[in-house]
């Protein structure tokens, strides 16, 4: 029963109760965590807050990835918690994953009592010092009265400007002490955003001039489009001026893959025609992307003839990797809403014979389309059954089955990191934002399974697929029991080639096929799933793929499929380290039925 403070009519609560009351006030309904001694007062108080569901993870790293997946799928901040010492340090990889991909996440850790801080007490570690480089901000709270204001500020920091993870470390005595609580009084000071751009700003005028003068523009669509909610504005901008759109890995889904202006993914394993278009462009419009090295290749030879307009909410990204001729600092949605009315239609870019007809492709668009050749068809998808099952078959058939069932826009794919991640980006055509959840910047193996749990918690009505390699899947496979305990219908596709596939591909290409430590022994994944109470199936032939995928999707229960795929297949095209964006390594001849490398 909550006690009232007679002086100010605010209830007197313990710090632990204040924590849950503040989370509830912020709209939190799900928390992922693992208890321990320094956070037990918080777990004890959970009984008084039935509106918040706690998901018990099997490893604290899983908790941080689940909160991350929840945030990516929903657009709302995810929340995870752990005890002090090893519980807190086990969150670090998940915090770094969220930091590099700009994901709003709140991590709450218990800490030893303030009286013994700095004494090397049992399970004491300086978690704020450890996480300083991998959080947007962090706090150490040592008084009960500071818990609510700190938590509310943490939510504001995590979600304002460029999103990111925030850690709040709370000493045990602060959790146990009592004080008056007012959610409203704990409201943080208003966030001061970057000054809003105006129509008469010189940078806006310069951007308009560059856009109107360009003959071969390309939009670079990044993750910031989704974070800003600017999908409609980007499409309106592109359609009005018939500008083709290339996507980063995390930008996939922001623009429907089937849209005629959508080119596909750029970068190291991007489409050849996309990279060539970027290299030939005279103007790049970077929308919410940071010119990561995986999308630029050799910087000294990147888009040498193109002017660059960089739109980003984070000023520190401007000129960090690529010089911007014009920088528009601000929320992408707001910037585009300002730009669109200022840009008159550009007749040279679209050829329209009748005002009632759709714009015809410009010469620039026709040039890009002609450069696709047979690579756009991706012949591997249509290969006759020759006894080989390729990962591309699996990804394509999962996509095709979802489309045939009318569930494409209700499907979330959560990938791990490696070859299967790139195959997914190449062969699964994303039509909706937040339909691909993957670790981009940090490239965290073991991410997929726990992140899928977070995505399913956020969107229980959607079909959630884990696509993981046999290596990364084993890193967090213990979370299979979390899926069962939470009764979640999550589908799991293990792309099993008996190798750490991307490592093996690099060893094949750059280390004279010295497969040092890349072959990996795996358990029987179907039996492993069964041990956790999850049904499964082994698939090694292509005709078995679609029926098994349908069985998994329609079972309304968790289901694991172990896909035994070709062991030494590779992801192509590929840009070697130090090469320019257009200098792509082609698929080597290995199987006579594989596409000709000249057609890639």
Mean pLDDT of 90-118: 98
Distance CA 32, CA 415 (A): 20
Q: Is the predicted pLDDT of residue 114 greater than 70, yes or no? A: yes
Q: Pick the range with the lowest mean pLDDT from 121-125, 236-240, 374-378, 462-466.
A: 374-378
Strand (E) positions, 30-164? 30-33, 53-56, 78-82, 105-111, 137-141
Same topology for domains 3-180 and 378-569, yes or no? yes
Q: What is the DSSP letter of 432?
A: S
pLDDT of residue 270: 94
Mean pLDDT of 118-124: 95
pLDDT of residue 375: 63
pLDDT of residue 377: 53
CA dihedral over 71, 74, 76, 78, signed as positive or negative: negative
pLDDT of residue 372: 84
Question: Which two tokens mark 189?
Answer: 């000071």
CB 576 within 8 A of CB 583: yes
CB 81 within 8 A of CB 109: yes
> Could you please report the per-residue DSSP string of 473-488?
HHHSGGGHHHHHHTT-
Distance CA 262, CA 281 (A): 16
Q: ∠391-392-393 over CA atoms, to 5°? A: 90
> For residues 531-558, b (16+ Cβ closer than 10 Å) or e, as one string?
ebebebbbbeebebbbebbeebbeeebb
CB 482 within 8 A of CB 54: no
Closest CA to 496 of 409, 432, 418: 418
**Could you read off the pLDDT of 287-301 as tens digits, one per residue?**
999 999 999 999 999
Distances (CA, A) of 39 to 35, 44, 114, 405, 411: 6, 9, 13, 46, 36
Distance CA 179, CA 80 (A): 24
Return the C-alpha torsion angle 247, 248, 254, 257, nearest 10: 40
Q: Is the predicted pLDDT of residue 6 greater than 60, yes or no? A: no
CB 407 within 8 A of CB 461: no
CB 464 within 8 A of CB 436: no
Distance CA 106, CA 78 (A): 6
CB 452 within 8 A of CB 414: yes
Mean pLDDT of 404-427: 97
Mean pLDDT of 429-455: 98
Query: Mean pLDDT of all residues in the chain?
Result: 92
Q: Which residues pair with residue 274 across a beta bridge?
A: none
pLDDT of residue 151: 98
**Alpha-carbon 186 to chain mean position:** 31
Question: Which two tokens mark 406?
Answer: 């009318």
Mean pLDDT of 358-369: 84
Sequence-distant (6+) residues with CB within 8 A of 201 are none
**Could you read off the pLDDT of 445-475 as tens digits, one per residue?**
999 999 999 999 999 999 999 999 999 999 9
CATH class of 378-569: alpha beta
> For residues 153-182, b (16+ Cβ closer than 10 Å) or e, as one string?
bbbbbbbbbbbbbbbbbbbbbbbbbbbbbe
Alpha-carbon Rg for the chain, nearest whole angstrom, is: 25
For the chain, the domains span 3-180, 201-374, 378-569
Task: Count other C-beta atoms under 10 Å from residue 197's C-beta.
Answer: 19
**Domain 3-180 homologous superfamily, CATH:** Thiamin diphosphate (ThDP)-binding fold, Pyr/PP domains (3.40.50.970)
Look-up of token digits 């029963």: 1
Q: Is the predicted pLDDT of residue 586 greater than 80, yes or no? A: no
**Could you read off the pLDDT of 263-293 as tens digits, one per residue?**
999 999 999 999 999 999 999 999 999 999 9
> Could you please report the per-residue DSSP string of 62-87?
HHHHHHHHHHHHHSS-EEEEE-STHH
pLDDT of residue 596: 47
**Could you read off the pLDDT of 29-81 as tens digits, one per residue?**
999 999 999 999 999 999 999 999 999 999 999 999 999 999 999 999 999 99
CB 71 within 8 A of CB 23: no
Q: Pick the range with the lowest mean pLDDT from 60-64, 194-198, 218-222, 328-332.
A: 194-198
Distance CA 149, CA 186 (A): 4
Q: Pick the range with the lowest mean pLDDT from 24-33, 44-53, 115-124, 582-591.
A: 582-591
Distance CA 14, CA 9 (A): 16
Q: ∠458-482-68 over CA atoms, to 5°? A: 40
- Confidence category of residue 190, pLDDT binned at 50, 70, 90: confident
**Could you read off the pLDDT of 374-401 as tens digits, one per residue?**
566 555 655 556 788 999 999 999 999 9
Closest CA to 506 of 415, 571, 580: 571
Helix (H, G, I), strand (E, B) or coil at 547: helix
Distances (CA, A) of 462 to 399, 473, 534: 14, 22, 19
Q: What is the DSSP letter of 444?
A: -
Question: Which two tokens mark 553?
Answer: 């999707």
pLDDT of residue 588: 66
Distance CA 163, CA 98 (A): 9
Question: Which two tokens mark 168?
Answer: 């709040």
Distance CA 247, CA 250 (A): 8
For 239, what's the count of Cα atoms within 13 Å in the CB-facing half-sphere?
A: 11
**Alpha-carbon 72 to chain mean position:** 6
Fold of 201-374: Rossmann fold (3.40.50)
**Could you read off the pLDDT of 70-92 as tens digits, one per residue?**
999 999 999 999 999 999 999 99
Q: Is the predicted pLDDT of residue 167 greater than 90, yes or no? A: yes
pLDDT of residue 347: 46
Q: Is the predicted pLDDT of residue 354 greater than 50, yes or no? A: no
- Confidence category of residue 593, pLDDT binned at 50, 70, 90: very low
CA dihedral over 503, 423, 582, 279, signed as positive or negative: negative
pLDDT of residue 598: 43
Q: Is the predicted pLDDT of residue 600 greater than 90, yes or no? A: no
**Could you read off the pLDDT of 337-350 as tens digits, one per residue?**
999 999 864 444 44
Distance CA 66, CA 448 (A): 9
Look-up of token digits 């005709």: 543
CB 69 within 8 A of CB 414: yes
pLDDT of residue 306: 98
Enumerate the active-site residues.
60, 122-123, 172, 502
Mean pLDDT of 248-252: 98
Mean pLDDT of 184-202: 82
Helix (H, G, I), strand (E, B) or coil at 124: coil
């Amino acid at each position: 029963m909550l006690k009232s403070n007679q002086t100010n009519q605010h209830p007197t609560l313990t710090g632990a109760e204040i924590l849950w009351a503040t989370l509830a006030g912020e709209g939190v309904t799900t928390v992922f965590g693992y208890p321990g001694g320094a956070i037990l007062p918080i777990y004890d108080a959970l009984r008084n807050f039935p509106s918040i569901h706690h998901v018990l993870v099997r490893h604290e790293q899983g908790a941080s990835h689940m909160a991350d997946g929840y945030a990516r799928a929903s657009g709302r901040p995810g929340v995870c918690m752990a005890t002090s010492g090893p519980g807190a340090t086990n969150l670090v990889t998940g915090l770094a994953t969220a930091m590099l991909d700009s994901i709003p996440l709140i991590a709450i850790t218990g800490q030893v009592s303030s009286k013994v801080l700095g004494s090397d007490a049992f399970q004491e570690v300086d978690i704020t010092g450890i996480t300083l480089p991998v959080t947007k901000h962090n706090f150490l709270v040592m008084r009960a009265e500071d818990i609510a204001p700190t938590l509310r500020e943490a939510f504001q920091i995590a979600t304002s400007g460029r999103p990111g993870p925030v850690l709040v470390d709370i000493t045990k005595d602060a959790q146990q002490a009592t004080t008056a609580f007012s959610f409203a009084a704990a409201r943080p000071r208003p966030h001061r955003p970057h000054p809003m751009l105006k129509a008469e700003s010189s940078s806006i005028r310069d951007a308009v001039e560059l856009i109107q003068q360009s003959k071969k523009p390309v939009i670079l669509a990044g993750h910031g489009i989704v974070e800003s909610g600017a999908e409609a504005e980007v499409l309106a901008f592109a359609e009005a001026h018939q500008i083709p759109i290339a996507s980063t890995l995390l930008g996939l889904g922001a623009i429907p893959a089937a849209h005629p202006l959508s080119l596909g993914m750029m970068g190291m394993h991007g489409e050849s025609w996309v990279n060539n278009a970027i290299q030939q462009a005279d103007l790049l419009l970077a929308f919410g992307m940071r010119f990561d090295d995986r999308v630029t290749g050799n910087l000294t030879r990147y888009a040498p003839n193109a002017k660059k307009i960089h739109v980003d909410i984070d000023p520190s990204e401007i000129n960090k990797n690529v010089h911007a001729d014009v920088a528009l600092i601000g929320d992408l949605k707001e910037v585009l809403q300002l730009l669109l009315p200022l840009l008159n239609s550009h007749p040279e870019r679209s050829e329209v014979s009748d005002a009632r007809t759709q714009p015809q492709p410009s010469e620039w668009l026709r040039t890009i389309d002609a450069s696709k050749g047979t690579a756009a068809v991706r012949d591997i998808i249509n290969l006759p059954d020759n006894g080989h099952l390729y990962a591309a078959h699996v990804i394509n058939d999962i996509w095709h089955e979802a489309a045939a069932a009318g569930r494409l826009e209700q499907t979330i794919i959560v990938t791990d990191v490696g070859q299967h991640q790139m195959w997914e980006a190449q062969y699964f055509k994303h039509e909706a934002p937040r339909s691909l959840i993957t670790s981009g910047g940090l490239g965290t193996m073991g991410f997929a399974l726990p992140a899928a749990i977070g995505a399913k918690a956020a969107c229980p009505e959607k079909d959630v697929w884990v696509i993981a390699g046999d290596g990364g899947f084993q890193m967090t496979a213990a979370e299979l029991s979390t899926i069962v305990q939470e009764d979640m219908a999550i589908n799991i596709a293990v792309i099993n080639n008996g190798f750490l596939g991307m490592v093996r591909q690099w060893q094949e290409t750059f280390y004279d096929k010295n497969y040092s430590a890349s072959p990996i022994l795996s358990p029987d994944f179907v039996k492993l799933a069964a041990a956790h109470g999850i049904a499964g199936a082994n698939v090694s032939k292509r005709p078995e793929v679609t029926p098994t995928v349908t069985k998994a999707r329609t079972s309304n229960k968790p289901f694991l499929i172990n896909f035994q795929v070709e062991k030494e297949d590779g992801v192509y095209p590929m840009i070697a380290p130090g090469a320019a964006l257009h200098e792509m390594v082609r698929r080597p001849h290995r199987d006579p039925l594989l596409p000709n490398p000249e057609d890639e």
